[in-house]
Structures are given as structure tokens and as C-alpha cells.
């Protein structure tokens, strides 16, 4: 079981998630390219992972017994990079190099470029297969580490996802926990218009997965879901996390057009103003 999430720790996590959103906006404005909606929507979940859930060591990123976090939808890597920097994997100042020539922080993660990255990702649909391979190997080696795979809902259009899901269910890989960012958008529109995914829960259950649903912006509820998943020993678990794309920035929220573009300098200023106001509300709510 994970250590209890006390009120003081929850407050710190909520504040940090909002700070991470601000850094995402700043790095996207600096880069002039990149994805906005997904990274902002997943900030709470990444904060929960790197500051409460994962068994990891930023000072020893290749520690053999570490938990693995596999990012399948590599285009949301701004939130991964920012969270890793806040956790101490590399200096925060390096965030300004996103998508620049010779930067370690490319537009999609390049595993050998930066210690702490578990996979190279970009082509959608392949992350779960990679994570399943890691989970199978960990089981054969009798390691107690856990494999977490973060996926988008839109990438479930790819058949490779379902091949991996069948394999994990058949082999009862209980050491893998998948998290689906169910924000209902993809680059061309809403998922249920492009390629309907529902009934998503039933599909995973049919492949012998334990299925949980949670509000992806409720850190406490997400941690509880991970705790439940860790207590399941006879099958893999998938957590369907309902999130708001562009969370925290009113003119980005739920607008699929922000899936794959960054804010301009002026839009960045407006976004940061909203997030800083939200930061004050978060602090006051816990006082």
C-alpha cells in the first residue's frame, strides 16, 4: 500500500500540479510549438505519480528496482518533462530548450537522450506493448517493481493497443497498471465522432482487466484508485481517468483545436494569469 495521503501532502500536491501547469505554458510559449491540451489535463496525475506513487530515485534514474512509467502518448511530453524537472531529474532551466536543436527535451521523448525516460514514444498505440513486455520481464525476474503505462483515449484507434491488452489479460500481468487519459478529444475532433470507443470499460473487462474509473483531477481519488489496483493480484488493471483537456485555462478547456498547438505570447500571458489566480484559490482553500 502507498503511504496515506494526508491533508497537508494533498495541499502540496495540488499546488505543485498548478505550478507544473504554469511551467508547461511557459515552455510551450518559448518553444513556439508543441501540444497544450493534453499536458495541462494530465498535470494532476503526473504530480501524483512523481511525488507520491512511484518508487523511484531521481539521483539514480537507472536503479534496477525502480517502478517504470511508460508514456505511450508521447506528444504530451511537456507535462512529463516539467514534472521530472520539478522532481529533480534535471535543472528546471533546461525546460526552456523544449523542441530546440540538440535539446534533450524533444517534441516526443527520446529514451537515450535523457536519463529517467523509459521509452521513446511518438507513434501512437505502441506504449502498452512496451509496458507489457517490461511487466512480463519483471515477473520472470521476480522483481517487485510495478509498470505504469499512460495512454490517450484517441490512440485506442490503433490495433496494437488491443493486442497488448489481450496479451496482458491472458497472462494475468497484475504488475501492470494502465492509465487512460479519457479527455474525449483527439487532433481531428471528439473521439466519439472520429472512432467511437464506448463501451470502453466493457472492452477491457472482456480482455480480463480489472477496470476502475476516476476523476483525473482529484488527486486523492486517483491515489485511492492506484492503491486498489496494487491490491489486485489476478489480473492487470486499467484506470480510466476522466480529464478536461486544457485544464485550468478557460479558453483551452474542452477545445480539441488546442490538442496540437501552443499558445502565442499573448495567449500565454492570459493563461498564466488564470493559473496564478487559481493558485491563490488553491492556497486559500487549504488555510
pLDDT digits (tens, 9 = 90+) for 229-260: 999 999 999 999 999 999 999 999 999 999 99
Q: Give the residue carrying C-alpha cell 507513434.
A: 123
pLDDT cut 90: percent of the chain above it: 95
**pLDDT number for residue 285:** 78
In terms of CATH, what superfamily is 7-285?
A: Thiamin diphosphate (ThDP)-binding fold, Pyr/PP domains (3.40.50.970)
Q: What pLDDT, on the 0 to 100 scale, is given for residue 281? A: 84
Helix ranges (H only) for the chain are 7-31, 37-41, 43-48, 77-87, 127-140, 159-170, 191-194, 200-206, 219-230, 265-285
Which positions ≥6 away from 41 have C-beta within 8 Å?
A: 181, 183, 216, 243, 244, 245, 246, 247
pTM confidence score: 0.97
Region 80-84 average pLDDT: 98
Contact 78, 24 (CB under 8 A): yes
The answer to whether 13 and 48 have CB atoms below 8 angstroms apart is yes
Cα 26 to chain centroid, rounded = 19
pLDDT at 287 over 70: no
pLDDT, the chain, mean = 96
Lookup result for grid cell 528496482: 65
Euclidean distance between CA atoms 135 and 157, whole angstroms: 23
Bridge partners, 178 (sequence order): 149, 238
Q: What is the pLDDT of residue 279?
A: 87
Give yes or no for residue 86 having a pLDDT over 80: yes
In this predicted model, what pLDDT tens digit does every residue of 2-37 receive, in sequence order? 988 999 999 999 999 999 999 999 999 999 999 999
pLDDT tens-digit map of 152-195: 999 999 999 999 999 999 999 999 999 999 999 999 999 999 99
Task: Give, to the nearest 10 degrees, the angle between helix 159-170 and helix 127-140.
Answer: 20
pLDDT confidence bin for 276, thresholds 50/70/90: very high
Is the pLDDT score of 1 beyond 90? no
The residue ranges of every structural domain in the chain are 7-285
Q: What is the DSSP string of 95-144?
A: GGGTT-TT-SS-SS--GGGSTT------STT-HHHHHHHHHHHHHHTT--
CA dihedral 101, 105, 111, 116 (to 10 degrees): 150
pLDDT for 226 beyond 70: yes
Amino acid at each position: 500500500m502507498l503511504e496515506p495521503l494526508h491533508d497537508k501532502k494533498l495541499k502540496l500536491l495540488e499546488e505543485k500540479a498548478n505550478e507544473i501547469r504554469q511551467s508547461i505554458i511557459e515552455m510551450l510559449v518559448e518553444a513556439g510549438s508543441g501540444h497544450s491540451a493534453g499536458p495541462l489535463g494530465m498535470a494532476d496525475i503526473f504530480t501524483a505519480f512523481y511525488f507520491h506513487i512511484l518508487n523511484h530515485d531521481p539521483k539514480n534514474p537507472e536503479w534496477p528496482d525502480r517502478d517504470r512509467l511508460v508514456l505511450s502518448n508521447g506528444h504530451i511530453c511537456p507535462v512529463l518533462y516539467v514534472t521530472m524537472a520539478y522532481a529533480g531529474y534535471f535543472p528546471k532551466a533546461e525546460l526552456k530548450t523544449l523542441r530546440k536543436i540538440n535539446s534533450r527535451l524533444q517534441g516526443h521523448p527520446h529514451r537515450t537522450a535523457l536519463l529517467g525516460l523509459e521509452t521513446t514514444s511518438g507513434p501512437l498505440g505502441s506504449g502498452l506493448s512496451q509496458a507489457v513486455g517490461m511487466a512480463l520481464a519483471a515477473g520472470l525476474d521476480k522483481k517487485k517493481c510495478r509498470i505504469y503505462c499512460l495512454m490517450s483515449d484517441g490512440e485506442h484507434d490503433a490495433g496494437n493497443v488491443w493486442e497488448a491488452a489481450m496479451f496482458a489479460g491472458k497472462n494475468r500481468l497484475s504488475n501492470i497498471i494502465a492509465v487512460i487519459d479519457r479527455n474525449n478529444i483527439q487532433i481531428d475532433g471528439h473521439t466519439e465522432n472520429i472512432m467511437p470507443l464506448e463501451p470502453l470499460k466493457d472492452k477491457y473487462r472482456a480482455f480480463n482487466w480489472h477496470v476502475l474509473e476516476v476523476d483525473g483531477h482529484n488527486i486523492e481519488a486517483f491515489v485511492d484508485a492506484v492503491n486498489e489496483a496494487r491490491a489486485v493480484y489476478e489480473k492487470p488493471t486499467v484506470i480510466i481517468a476522466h480529464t478536461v483537456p486544457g485544464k485550468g485555462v478557460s479558453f483551452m478547456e474542452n477545445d480539441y483545436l488546442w490538442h496540437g498547438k501552443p499558445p502565442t505570447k499573448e495567449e500565454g500571458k492570459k493563461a498564466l494569469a488564470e493559473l496564478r489566480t487559481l493558485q491563490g484559490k488553491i492556497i486559500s482553500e487549504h488555510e
